[in-house]
Amino acid sequence: MEPIAPDRMKRIAWRCRRGMLENDLVLSRFLARRGSALTEDEIGMLDALLDLPDNELWDIIAGRQEPANAAVAPLVAQLRNP
């Protein structure tokens, strides 16, 4: 597995900075813990989640809602269980 390019990781990290503090904390901790080991598939899942509005993203992370796109479920599980 080839590491994700540094400029791409910077873009992902920037997108993880959210207007809602709860999302910001979960996502920044996730990147700190797993960022260097993310696969291309996981980056794609994360990108899909980051396209969501903050409130919807938080509802998914908090477990109040399941993602409409079932393909992101593995990454959601990682976000829910640090």
Reduced to 3 states (helix: H, G, I; strand: E, B; else coil), residue 64 is coil
| pLDDT score for 80 | 95
- Enter the pTM of the model: 0.88
Of 49, 38, 56, 39, nearest to 71 by C-alpha is: 49
Calpha distance 82→79 (Å, rounded): 6
Q: How far apart are CA 47 and CA 25, in angstroms?
A: 17
DSSP state of 45: H
CATH numbers and ranges of domains, the chain: 6-80 (1.10.150.250)
pLDDT tens, per residue, the chain with 82 residues: 677 888 988 999 999 998 999 999 999 999 999 988 999 999 999 999 999 999 999 999 999 999 999 999 999 999 998 7
